């Protein structure tokens, strides 16, 4: 005898097999028959696939519950398909060799099976035996009082009407045609408002359009039949979405006398007595704070535990892809469960479904597969789904240490409460996600600004770690790749507790660095925990609770991995998915900043090394002459300056000195600077006089072609005399003129201007001779001194002469220092040009 029936038709497309599996699973679980679900789903999946894929026709699936068995029928409209050959179980009568596989599976799994043919169709059926009831899991279904059973004299018709987003009829089943006397062709595409007679109460209730947009609604109204008569119906409306996210409304309708078929037992209609199962649960006592999801969830589980007199409760929320549950709140589970721990949505034994309310009578007899409850001491459990518009968003569970404590009525009461709280949870979660999204954007903007604000390598490493701790993790380690393919080395370590930085660094120094791996993505890293365990440091006070989940992210810049970013949290804590996604974004930005800082540091080091090579390493000591030099390159040291100086021995008793300025900066200017300094030494030691040296240098500069730069140069030769004076021979080729400070404080020019170098082929240069007496000073500078500006004011030659006038009696070093200070104090801004100062002074007494 058939005690229950469920049927559905599936179109011939690739998604039908999955839809049929879901239909059969829900039907059998709804009847409380989880024991036969797996076998039934496997057989139906194969038979429907044969029908819609191989036969190319629609498939009709009918589930019949009998007293001791379940019979399932799959009907297609291609009766020509062959049966398995009796002679060979691995070959089929059909020539294409594909049909019949489902029949072989039926013979292996079903108690009985068969094939029935009719005109234009074929039906494959099978029976599965129902096992005897054992203590375990059952699915909560409403218990209907006998007085509320359907009173129709004939069969109960359940009309199924599907409406699109605009309220137009999309689907109309045969029961709808029987109830309302409209064939499907007459109503498809028509507005539901043309048929529904919605109660109109001024100022009270929702209209039809608003009601159709609710996630779920249940109640009575009228429907106008084809003959014009209005019939009272009782309906349940559920808002659903298809695989592409398009919403629609599914309406199940029965005549008012048959309302018990659809009516929820906890619903109290006007004129009826309250539900004898007890008052509804209210998990939202008090206002809902939509700004604090964690508080709402914790309050929900605590209230669910208290209202149902449970020992423990928990609430899981689905991840964005709805494949995993994440533990978000728990009460009464004090055995070390981890917040944000994740479990697949299908976690559990074969009799569990996260989409239906269920009662677990004794977890000792049939344990749940949820790790959360392992070793918790809980014996009975009730779980209910949290759904919004038919979409699973979470699961609420309550448990107690007493077996058999809960029944179907408890599950249904909890389900009704969960239905009400689900919308508040989803709204608050969306608010939290929006807040996290805005916070993540602000965090990344701030990180980008900070990382772009420095080009120092060490500072960039420190900023990376400081951005990660404590926002993303409790500790952070940065590894950078060595040169020539060397393995990554530990470059920086930071922990939110400064006292733990050194122990953490010591542990990571003893742990092999993580391998580079792929250029993107998060990898879990267990090497630090294994090292601590191998060294017996797991329980040490310094590392206690330090090592929980650890992840490694590659630092990829310009299509290569330049380092690794390791993030860790304390034991018992897991990374949330949104934190890992944010860490990936940070690692990409940090990698580019780190690579830029590396390139900048390398360029700076190269420039500084080149700059040092263009200046004399040491100044020779000249008997009877004090010499001092001050040199300052403008900028941050990343460009080679164009100013240079030199002082060298030409022959015994005679010395050469030079101070010059090459046009521009950078490698081109550096090449001319190097050419000038080394050429001066070589040519002067060949015995050429000052004009000849500069003419040869001018020719060498012009030979550089497009790489040449013009050069201003003051070159001189000095020879100390026995009487304490010093004889000088000077050529000033386009350079600021040297100044001579006499002993009485007078300042005059020590040379006349002549053509600069690197412009003309033939230069007419002459040497100018003078003698510095004891106490006199010769000051030579570059244009970075004389062209020092503040607004429209410029220091100039006159300003420099005025400074030099006050230097009477000072040593060469003191003169250079005073000039340098005068230049810096001339304007509040730092100097923007290179600056070189060379001072020569003949002391009043000869030193030997």
Give me the sign of the Cα torsion angle 84, 86, 87, 90. Answer: positive
Please name the residues in contact with 591: beta carbons below 8 A apart, sequence gap of 6 or more: 554, 555, 556, 557, 562, 563
What is d(CA 275, CA 41) in angstroms, rounded to the nearest whole number? 36
Tokens of 798: 């006159």
CA-closest candidate to residue 712, choices 785, 771, 653, 649: 785
pLDDT per position as a tens digit, 781-797: 999 999 999 888 999 99
Which residues does residue 391 pair with via DSSP β-bridges, in sequence order?
A: 388
Q: Report the 10 Å Cβ neighbour count for 377.
A: 14
3-class SS letters over 124-175:
EEEEEECCCCCCCEEECCCCCCHHHCCCCCCCCCCEEEEECCCCEEEEECHH
pLDDT score of 521: 81
Q: Is the Cβ–Cβ distance between 30 and 135 less than 8 Å? A: no
Tokens of 548: 């929980």
pLDDT score of 238: 84
What is d(CA 615, CA 657) in angstroms, rounded to the nearest whole number? 12
H-run or E-run covering 234:
strand 230-241
3-class SS letters over 588-623:
HHHHHHHHHHHHHHHHHHHHHHHHHHCCCCCCCCCC
Query: Phi and psi for 462 in degrees, rounded to 5?
Result: -65, -40
What is d(CA 256, CA 313) in angstroms, rounded to the nearest whole number? 39
Please name the residues in contact with 465: beta carbons below 8 A apart, sequence gap of 6 or more: 476, 477, 478, 492, 493, 494
pLDDT score of 713: 95
| Angstrom distances, CA of residue 794 to CA of 138, 789, 790 | 94, 4, 6
Q: Report the 10 Å Cβ neighbour count for 583.
A: 22
CA-closest candidate to residue 72, choices 21, 128, 34, 19: 128
What is d(CA 305, CA 604) in angstroms, rounded to the nearest whole number? 65
Helix, strand, coil share (%) of the chain residues, nearest 5? 30, 25, 40
Give me the sign of the Cα torsion angle 298, 302, 307, 308. Answer: positive
pLDDT score of 271: 39
Q: Checking DSSP bridges between strand 789-790 and strand 643-651, what pairing results, if any?
A: unpaired
Q: Residue 522, class by beta-carbon neighbours within 10 Å (0-12 exposed, 13-18 middle, 19+ buried)?
A: middle
What is d(CA 162, CA 242) in angstroms, rounded to the nearest whole number? 12
Please name the residues in contact with 663: beta carbons below 8 A apart, sequence gap of 6 or more: 642, 669, 709, 710, 711
Give me the sign of the Cα torsion angle 115, 121, 127, 128. Answer: positive
Dihedral of the alpha carbons of 365, 371, 376, 378, in degrees to the nearest 10: -40
Query: Phi and psi for 77 in degrees, rounded to 5?
Result: -120, 40
Block residue for tokens 């993107």: 520
Q: Report the 10 Å Cβ neighbour count for 99.
A: 20
How many angstroms from the chain centroid is the CA of residue 231?
Answer: 57
Segments of the chain with pLDDT less than 50: 81-99, 201-205, 266-278, 349-351, 638, 846-848
| Cis peptide bond prior to 756, omega within 30° of 0 | no
pLDDT score of 347: 52
What is d(CA 705, CA 115) in angstroms, rounded to the nearest whole number? 97
Of the chain, the end-to-end C-alpha distance in Å amounts to 130
pLDDT score of 274: 41
What is d(CA 162, CA 192) in angstroms, rounded to the nearest whole number? 10
Q: Report the 10 Å Cβ neighbour count for 831.
A: 19
DSSP state of 54: I
Please name the residues in contact with 840: beta carbons below 8 A apart, sequence gap of 6 or more: 625, 626, 627, 657, 718, 726, 772, 777, 778, 780, 812
pLDDT score of 289: 56
Q: Residue 358, class by beta-carbon neighbours within 10 Å (0-12 exposed, 13-18 middle, 19+ buried)?
A: buried
Which residues does residue 35 pair with via DSSP β-bridges, in sequence order?
A: none
How large is the angle between the packed helices 408-452 and 577-613, nearest 10 degrees? 10
Q: Is the Cβ–Cβ distance between 233 and 253 less than 8 Å? A: yes
Block residue for tokens 């759904």: 387
pLDDT score of 314: 92
Query: Phi and psi for 562 in degrees, rounded to 5?
Result: -105, -5
| Angstrom distances, CA of residue 107 to CA of 112, 117, 710 | 7, 18, 98
Dihedral of the alpha carbons of 680, 683, 689, 691, in degrees to the nearest 10: -60
pLDDT score of 848: 41
pLDDT score of 334: 63
């Amino acid at each position: 005898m058939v005690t229950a029936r469920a049927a559905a038709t599936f179109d011939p497309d690739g998604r039908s097999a999955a839809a049929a599996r879901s239909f059969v699973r829900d039907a059998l679980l709804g009847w409380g028959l989880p024991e036969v679900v797996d076998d039934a789903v496997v057989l139906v999946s194969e038979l429907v696939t044969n029908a819609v894929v191989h036969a190319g026709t629609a498939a009709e699936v009918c589930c019949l519950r009998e007293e001791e068995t379940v019979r399932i029928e799959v009907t297609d409209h291609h009766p020509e398909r062959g049966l398995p050959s009796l002679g060979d179980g691995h070959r089929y009568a059909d020539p294409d060799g594909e049909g019949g596989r489902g029949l072989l599976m039926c013979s292996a799994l079903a108690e009985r099976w068969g094939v029935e043919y009719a005109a234009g169709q074929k039906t494959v059926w099978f029976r599965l035996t129902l096992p005897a009831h054992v203590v375990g899991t059952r699915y909560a279904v409403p218990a209907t009082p006998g007085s509320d059973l359907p009173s129709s004299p004939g069969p109960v018709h359940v009309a199924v009407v599907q409406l699109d987003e605009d309220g137009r009829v999309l689907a109309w089943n045969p029961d709808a045609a029987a109830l309302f006397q409209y064939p499907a062709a007459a109503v498809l595409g028509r507005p539901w408002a043309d048929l529904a007679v919605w109660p109109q109460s001024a100022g009270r209730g929702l209209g039809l359009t608003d009601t159709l947009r609710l996630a779920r609604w249940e109640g009575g109204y009228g429907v106008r039949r084809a003959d014009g008569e209005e019939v009272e119906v009782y309906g349940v409306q559920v808002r659903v979405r298809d695989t592409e996210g398009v919403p629609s409304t599914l309406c199940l309708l029965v005549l008012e006398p048959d309302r018990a078929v659809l009516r929820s037992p906890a619903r109290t209609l006007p004129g009826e007595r309250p539900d004898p199962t007890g008052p509804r649960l209210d998990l939202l006592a008090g206002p809902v704070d939509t700004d604090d999801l964690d508080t709402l969830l914790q309050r929900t589980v605590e209230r669910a535990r208290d209202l149902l007199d449970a020992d423990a409760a928990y609430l899981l929320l689905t991840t964005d892809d709805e494949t995993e549950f994440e533990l978000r709140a728990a009460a009464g589970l004090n055995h070390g469960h981890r917040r944000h721990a994740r479990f697949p949505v299908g976690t559990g034994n074969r009799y569990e479904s996260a989409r239906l309310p269920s009662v677990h009578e004794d977890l000792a007899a049939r344990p749940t597969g949820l790790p959360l409850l392992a070793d918790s001491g809980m014996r009975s459990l009730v779980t209910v789904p949290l759904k919004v518009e038919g979409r699973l968003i979470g699961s609420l569970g309550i448990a107690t240490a007493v077996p058999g404590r809960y029944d179907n009525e408890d599950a249904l009461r909890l389900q009704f409460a969960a239905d009400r709280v689900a919308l508040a949870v989803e709204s608050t979660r969306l608010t939290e996600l929006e807040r996290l999204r805005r916070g993540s954007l602000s965090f990344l903007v701030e990180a980008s600004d900070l990382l772009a604000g420095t080009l120092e390598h060490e500072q960039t490493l420190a900023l990376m770690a400081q951005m990660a701790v404590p926002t993303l993790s409790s500790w952070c380690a940065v590894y950078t790749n060595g040169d020539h393919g060397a393995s990554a080395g530990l470059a920086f370590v930071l922990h939110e507790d400064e006292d733990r930085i050194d122990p953490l660094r010591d542990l990571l120094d003893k742990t092999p660095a993580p391998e580079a791996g792929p250029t993107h993505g998060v990898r879990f890293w267990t090497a630090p925990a294994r090292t601590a365990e191998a060294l017996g440091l797991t329980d040490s006070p310094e590392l206690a609770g330090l090592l929980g989940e650890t992840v490694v992210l590659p630092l990829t810049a310009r299509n290569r991995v330049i380092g690794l970013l390791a993030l860790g949290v304390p034991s018992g804590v897991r990374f949330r998915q949104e934190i890992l996604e944010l860490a990936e974004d940070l690692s990409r930005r940090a990698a580019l900043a780190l690579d830029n800082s590396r390139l900048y540091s390398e360029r700076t080091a190269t420039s500084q090394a080149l700059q040092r090579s263009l200046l004399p390493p040491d100044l020779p000591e000249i008997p009877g002459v004090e010499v001092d030099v001050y040199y300052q390159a403008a900028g941050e040291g990343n460009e080679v300056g164009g100013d240079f100086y030199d002082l060298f021995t030409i022959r015994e008793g005679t010395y050469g000195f030079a101070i010059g300025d090459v046009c521009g900066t950078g490698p081109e200017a550096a090449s001319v600077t190097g050419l000038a300094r080394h050429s001066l030494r070589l040519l002067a030691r060949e015995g050429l006089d000052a004009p000849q040296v500069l003419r040869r240098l001018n020719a060498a500069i012009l030979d550089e072609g497009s790489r040449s730069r013009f050069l201003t140069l003051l070159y001189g030769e000095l020879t100390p005399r026995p009487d304490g004076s010093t004889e000088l021979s000077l050529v000033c080729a386009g350079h600021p003129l040297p100044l001579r400070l006499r002993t009485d404080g007078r300042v005059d020019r020590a040379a006349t201007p002549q053509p600069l170098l690197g412009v003309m082929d033939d230069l007419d240069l002459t040497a100018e001779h003078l003698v510095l007496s004891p106490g006199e000073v010769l000051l030579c500078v570059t244009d970075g001194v004389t062209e020092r500006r503040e607004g429209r004011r410029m220091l100039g030659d006159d300003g420099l002469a005025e400074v030099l006038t006050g230097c009477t009696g000072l040593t060469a070093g003191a003169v250079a220092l005073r000039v340098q200070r005068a230049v810096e104090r001339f304007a509040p801004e730092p100097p923007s040009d290179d600056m070189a100062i060379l001072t020569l002074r003949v002391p009043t007494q000869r030193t030997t």
